[in-house]
A and B are shown apart, each in its own frame.
Chain A
Amino acid sequence: MRVISALALPLASFLLIAAASLDAQRAQGSAPGASTPAAPNAQAAPPGNAENGKKIYSSYGCYQCHGYAAQGGAGARLAPRPIAFAAFARYVRRPTAQMPPYTAKVVSDQELADIYAFLQTIAPPPAANTIPILAR
């Protein structure tokens, strides 16, 4: 009996998250808006409507990979403490790992700002040692 890709399946989620995080970090370190005309040319997050962001986070299917609480799953964890907006927008527009691209035709710049505003509202989780079944 053989095992399916020793790393591939058990760690599929991990690799996807790792790849996405890595790419996002790279994007964060690059010059804002250097080669992505669709991405908003700003380091700081533009004003966004968190309530609308929560709504479209769901309707646009972000939760399908990132979870309703943006906790991550098949995709990277997005909150709390989301990456800088420029990096976030850059990655959404032009992902370099497995995530499909969301162009401005599908998600407008304002909607992207709204989603980002929603992500900023997500509170940190309780510490593992305060959850009895996770505590050592």
Chain B
Amino acid sequence: MANSKTNHPDRREFLKGAAAGAVALAATPEVAGAAEAQAPAPAAPAVALPSPQALAAETQPISADVQALIEDHPGSDFMVDVLKHLGFEYVAANPGSSFRSLHESIVNYGGNKAPELLTCCHEESSAFMACGYAKVEGKPMAIMAHSTVGLQHASIGIYEAFGAQVPVFIILGNTIDAVTRRPGVEWSHSAQDAAAMVRDYTKWDDLPISLPHFAESAMRAYKIAMTPPMGPVVLVADSHLQETGMAGHGGSPRMPKLTLARPPAADAGAVAELAALLVAAENPLILGNSARTPEGMRMLVELAETLQAPVSGGSFPSRHPLRQGGGGLIRNADLIVGLDVNDLWGTVNTYLDQQTRSSQLLTKQGAKLVSITSSDLYLKSNYQNFQRYTEVDMAIAADPEATLPSLIEAVKKLVTPERRRIFEERGKRLAAASAQALEQARAAATYGWDASPVSIPRLTAELWNAIKDHDWVNVGGVGGGALWNVDKHYQVIDGGGVAAEGGDLPTAVGAALAHRKHGRLAVSIQKDGDFMYAPGALWTAAHHRIPFLSVMYNNRAYHQEVMHIQRMANRHQRGITNAGIGNSLTDPNIDFATMARGMGVHGEGPITNPNDLGPAIKRAVDVVLKGEPALVDVVTQPR
């Protein structure tokens, strides 16, 4: 795409060719005759050939005043070259005039392939879809939005990306030159410093004023977004820069080389010190991290198995004997190693949300706490999503996945036969506990099994039964629980964001899109309140044939808030009679299946009888396996 002239003949050349073709057809009646012999005579008269005058008007040199009305090689074509160079598969957008030239260049000049434009019904959906995509694909999706009204809509999804540390590449349409703005809307859709609104929760932004500047800043932005801790970046695409011809910018600029930064690994001294602590610990506990790659899960398993140490959370096989859970692990541990844990303080402390708020450290006296996180390398101050300061004994500012190879090697070197014997004994105890926990989870699921509304364990068990024999993935929403056998790194996407309501559905759509090319069966347990923020994401899934199953966790309330108001009402001794006001989603009940069908999606429900659930999910899975989205509305117990 370096030389757009080569690949894209200009309009006048095209017309000359067309005219020549028309003349040729007229001069070779046998061709037309052959066509007529093969097909019935057309009902409509043949299209008239242009008159000599019209042909001359179309092929003669264009006058200066007409030349001013057209532009064959706008700057936005080069912007598309940049997007292609960066390897974007998709650009998600709700259409907007401030990036109209870039939009047109994507679908025409770029052929609407790599990147393909995704039609979104809300910029919030664009941003969340990009989050879901990046969590699966490990690289950003681009989104486009107006610099003002679009960015305002998108901001919550961008904040989610920042909190979850996922790369999102945001392009803002804007018109910086005030004297060229169209009166009215274009002024409302322009900002002096467009990125300012989201600067507190983006990693980097720029306002390029030339195409070479755009290209260099795009490379820099991509690199910064992809360097742990990853995060969203913003590039403002000025409308003048988009719409002005490349000639005005000195021709098609050179495309800069992109080289991503290697993820930061811990220094050798820190690795050696931590390895010694891990080998010497009697009750170590690893708080797992999310895997960026398949190797991430494999290495975490290798570390845990080498030490026979329990792992809680993160990308670790759910039925591995060393996968453990419960507060007792924290209380018993003499060494806790947190790998990229968002809220380490909240993990090692209990907190009581009573009238007098109080907390208590869970760890025993003398227990050591170690963190490995790239978050120590980058922090902003305004938004407080970084959680409470944690007193650790050793803070390793590094990417856990980049650190694991050297840590595993160092641990292996220190393991003596005696320590190995102790590890094996520990492993046997943990394996027994793991098996017992699975049995307890099975038994726990039986309580309320036949209840209506449907219990959450019943819902997750029925869904698991329908997907377990497929190459399944959970694309967000509510987790499947202890009964699901997670053994591949891609089967679960991380939460770890900012608890932004409205994100589950579009995140699931974006993640399902990333899984589509692998042919995986994507499912999501979708909360009703969250769904109602931006249900149009379901239409996007239907429009772009993104197969995934959304099973509604429909408790007909913003239930978290019900419990908060209930808490306040009880604390104030006023009874909870009115606690549902402002929180419930009843009167009328929302018919999600009808909503789905209205957007071209297979919809079933509302299901209140638990015995109807399994067959409904089975039918919906069959639809998804054919490449379409589907939704099953399940009326559930509150929690």
List the interface of chain A (C-beta within 8 A of B).
Answer: 1-11, 13-15, 18-19, 59-61, 63-65, 67-69, 71-75, 77, 97-98, 100-103, 105-106, 125-128, 131, 133-134, 136
Contact = CB atoms under 8 A, between A and B. Distances in A.
B330 interface: yes
Given A13-B639, A69-B451, A100-B570, A5 B346 contact: yes
B447 interface: yes
A131 B446 contact: yes
A67 B455 contact: yes
Interface in B351-376: 352-353, 373, 375
Interface residues of B, number: 74
A68 B637 contact: yes
A71 B570 contact: no
B465 to A, nearest CB: 4
A131 B455 CA distance: 15
A22 B340 CA distance: 30
Contact of B342 (A2, A75, A101, A105): A2
A11 B346 contact: no
Given A6-B338, A98-B353, 15 more contacts: A1-B164, A3-B290, A3-B313, A3-B340, A4-B342, A5-B313, A7-B312, A64-B563, A67-B637, A69-B448, A73-B456, A73-B638, A106-B573, A127-B446, A134-B461
B558 to A, nearest CB: 12
Contacts of B448: 67-69, 71, 125
A105 B132 CA distance: 48
A11 B467 CA distance: 23
B446 A73 contact: no
B342 A3 contact: yes
A69 B353 contact: no
B453 to A, nearest CB: 7
Judged by DSSP, the binding face of A is loop
Nearest to A11: B325
Contacts of B559: 64
- Residue among A11, A68, A134 having the largest count of chain B Cβ atoms under 10 Å: A134
A66 to B, nearest CB: 9
11 contacts: A1-B292, A1-B340, A2-B342, A3-B288, A6-B313, A7-B326, A11-B325, A15-B327, A59-B577, A64-B638, A68-B453
Given A68-B448, A71-B447, A14 B455 contact: no
B479 A10 contact: yes
B637 A63 contact: yes
A67 B639 contact: yes
B135 interface: yes
Given A1-B494, A3-B340, A128-B446, A73 B347 contact: no
A3 B447 contact: no
B562 interface: yes
